[in-house]
Amino acid sequence: MSELYKYDPSNEAKNFRIPGLQHKYRETVLLFVAENCHSICDWCFRKRLFEGESLENDVVVDPQQALKYLQNETEVRSVLMSGGDALLAESDLLDKLLNGMGTIEHLHDVRIGSRAIVHDPARYGKKIPAYYAKKLYIVAHIVRPEEISHNLADVVKSFPHYTFYIQTPLLKGVNDDPNLLSEIWYKASEAGMQPYYVFQCRPTHGNQRYSLSLREGHEVFSGAQSLSTGVVKPCRYVMSTGSGKWEILGIDQGDIVLRCHQGVNPLMVGSLRRTDPDDVWWDLPDSDPIHRRMIDQRQKVSGE
Ligand code: SF4
């Protein structure tokens, strides 16, 4: 069990194309723009950044190189800026990237992922650009209802032209309670933010104490859904694995049923898989026929 817990459980290392830029899904690029956070979450899924285990390519060093990559990859529609915390990026780097991406025609949207905006809304709200040429989404990392403060709601209200989402890792002893999760969704909705994803806690080194089994997580998530109206619960309960983002749909005939929401291999999207409800994590085995085809194609392209 403990061998499941690693510094890079989703195998992010293999998705870096240039320093600070991961291209895992055809339409989406992930830019790492900061190595720091306002404060360090004990359940962090990228502890490697703070515990001396950083990957060589972890942060963007040359914004022009990143923009050139995005310009050339015409199938990319969305860029997620993360880290660390995207709002802790150097202002110069953030400006250069945002300005450059604003002129790339094939990009549809940019997402800024931040927990700092929850910790100190007034301070980090100032780093959000007043206007943006593309659709801009702010994705706030929230784990408890009391984190949704009046100050955060004020920041949300001051940017009526952007969409604010929340995402929540499901954590044993922190928020594994249907009432509490439902309260997060209601409070977020009142503050003008839309629940987006609830994440299964990644088996990152040191996170064992926060892990719930898929059965336990499903019980909390579906319990929270049963307490919530349709408008406040449009989010999905997902696992971000090496092969893709898998939605945890429910239990059928003793198995957890998973649906591929976003796949490294786009052909996987919509396909269903099953696993043991007592597992805390799951990923598609390399031997799976669809996955195998993609690995073979990649090896052919790279000449391995
Ligand atoms: S905000 Fe995100 S990256 Fe930063 S410590 Fe928390 S989980 Fe890790």
**Residue nearest ligand 1's atom 7 by CA:** 44
Tell me if 295 CB under 6 Å of ligand 1.
no
Per-position pLDDT tens, the chain of length 304: 667 888 888 888 889 999 999 999 999 999 999 989 999 999 998 888 777 777 667 889 899 999 999 999 999 999 999 988 999 999 999 999 999 999 999 999 999 999 999 999 999 999 999 999 999 999 999 999 999 999 999 999 999 999 999 999 999 999 999 999 999 999 999 999 999 999 999 999 999 999 999 999 999 999 999 999 988 888 999 999 999 999 999 999 999 999 999 999 999 999 999 999 999 999 998 788 777 777 777 666 656 5
Ligand 1 in reach of 231 Cβ (< 6 A):
no
Phi/psi for 118 (5° steps) reads: -85, -40
Give residue 9's pLDDT.
84
Q: Please tell me the predicted confidence (pLDDT) of residue 303.
A: 60
The pair of structure tokens assigned to 254 is 């003793």
Secondary structure class of 140 (helix, strand, coil): strand
CA distances from 43 to 110, 117, 260 (A): 26, 18, 25
User: How far apart are the CA of 301 and the centre of ligand 1, in A?
Assistant: 35
* 40 Cα to the center of ligand 1, angstroms: 6
Nearest CA to ligand 1 atom 1: 115
Task: Encode 258-279 in three state secondary structure.
Answer: EEEEEECCHHHCCCEEEECCCC
Class of domain 2-226: alpha beta
- Ligand 1 midpoint to CA 108 (Å): 26
Is any ligand 1 atom within 6 A of the Cβ of residue 202? no
How deeply is 5 buried, as exposed, middle or buried, from its count of CB atoms within 10 A (0-12, 13-18, 19+)?
Answer: middle
Give residue for tokens 């202002």: 91
Write down the pLDDT at residue 1: 62
CB 264 within 8 A of CB 244: yes
Q: Whose CA is nearest to atom 6 of ligand 1?
A: 41
Model pLDDT, residue 10: 81
Q: Given this model, what pLDDT does residue 123 score?
A: 97
Residue 255: enclosing H or E segment and its boundaries? strand 255-263
Question: By 3-state DSSP, what share of the chain in percent is helix, strand and coil, each rounded to 5?
Answer: 35, 25, 40
Which atom of ligand 1 is nearest to 82's Cα?
A: 3
The response to whether residue 116 sits with its C-beta less than 6 Å from ligand 1 reads no
pLDDT of residue 47: 84
- Extents of the domains making up the chain: 2-226
* Distance separating alpha carbons of residues 110 and 100, to the nearest angstrom: 11
Top mutation candidate among 59, 112, 114, 115 for ligand 1, by most atoms within 8 Å of CB? 115
Q: How far is the CA of 38 from the centre of ligand 1 (A)?
A: 9
The answer to whether the CB of 44 is under 6 A from ligand 1 is yes
Mutate to test the pocket of ligand 1, among 112, 118, 141 (most ligand atoms within 8 A of CB): 141
Q: Is the CB of 291 under 6 A from ligand 1?
A: no
Q: Which of 87, 91, 93 is nearest to 62 (CA)?
A: 93
Distances (CA, A) of 150 to 85, 115, 130, 155, 156: 21, 16, 20, 9, 10
